[in-house]
Amino acid sequence: MIRYSLHVTPNAKIQKVEATAKGFKVWLHAPAVEGKANAALIQLMATHLGLKKRQLSLEKGQKSRNKILLVQPE
């Protein structure tokens, strides 16, 4: 299993992923309402990492901007 540290900015004008020394900074179009931003985050990170959505899950930070993304190999 691999863990990535993420800092997420929901409701952003642009949607992108930027690698940093500590993990990733992620900007999302989706608002932080009813899990929409978390679902968009999983989709965007799966595309960015070249993985399937089912391989990714949020280990920590469901209601925070700072999150830990858990990647499980198939």
Q: What is the mean pLDDT of the chain?
A: 94
pLDDT reading at 14 higher than 90: yes
pTM of the predicted structure, to 2 decimals: 0.91
pLDDT reading at 73 higher than 90: no
2, β-bridge pairs:
71
Domain ranges for the chain: 2-71
pLDDT reading at 68 higher than 90: yes
pLDDT tens digits, residue range 15-55?
A: 999 999 999 999 999 999 999 999 999 999 999 999 999 99
In the block, tokens 């929409």 appear at: 36
pLDDT of residue 52: 95
DSSP, collapsed to helix, strand or coil, labels residue 43 as helix
2-71: CATH number: 3.30.1200.10
